[in-house]
Amino acid sequence: MTWWKILVTGGLIALAETLHGIGRARFLAPRIGDLRSRQIGVLSGSALLLIIAYISIPWISPATISEAMITGLAWLALMLGYEFCLGRLLFKFSWKRLLSDFNPLEGGFLGIGMSVLVFAPLLAAKMRRLF
């Protein structure tokens, strides 16, 4: 397991989730509304990142459960940084708007998606019988 592989895969996840978000906003949100499309997007985005984890985990090659969890936590840090930087700097979202995506009381389910992200390498490694 090397850090550059974790970073490359994290970048791939960010790219895939960005394209997923653009497609969701362009095609799904106008039909069912922004909030509902973001809620559905958490489910489809989680499936997307699980697929990426499953494909990439043999390349990353964590040797232990701890290494798989470190991979997931690194991906989480990367994605949170990306999410907040993109939201604040590019889209000019307020902190309230960004944090609402994580608040289930406001309909935000992104915390669930981020939890899936943390455990995705472990799940993928277990499915691939890497340890």
| Full-model pTM | 0.93
Q: What's the pLDDT score for residue 127?
A: 97
Those residues of the chain that have pLDDT short of 70 are none
Q: What is the pLDDT of residue 30?
A: 98
Q: For position 54, what pLDDT does the model report?
A: 98
The count of domains in the chain is 1
- Which residues have a Cβ under 8 Å from the Cβ of 40 and sit 6 or more positions away? 24, 28, 32
Q: What is the pLDDT of residue 78?
A: 98
Residue 24's pLDDT is what?
97
Question: Which domain, by its residues, includes 57?
Answer: 3-127
**Residue 8's pLDDT is what?**
98
CA distance 75 to 81: 10
* Cβ pair 54, 128 in contact under 8 A: yes
Written in H, E and C, the secondary structure of 3-44 is HHHHHHHHHHHHHHHHHHHHHHHHHHHHHHCHHHHHHHHHHH
Instruction: Give residue-wise pLDDT tens across range 62-98.
Output: 999 999 999 999 999 999 999 999 999 999 999 999 9
Q: What is the pLDDT of residue 10?
A: 98
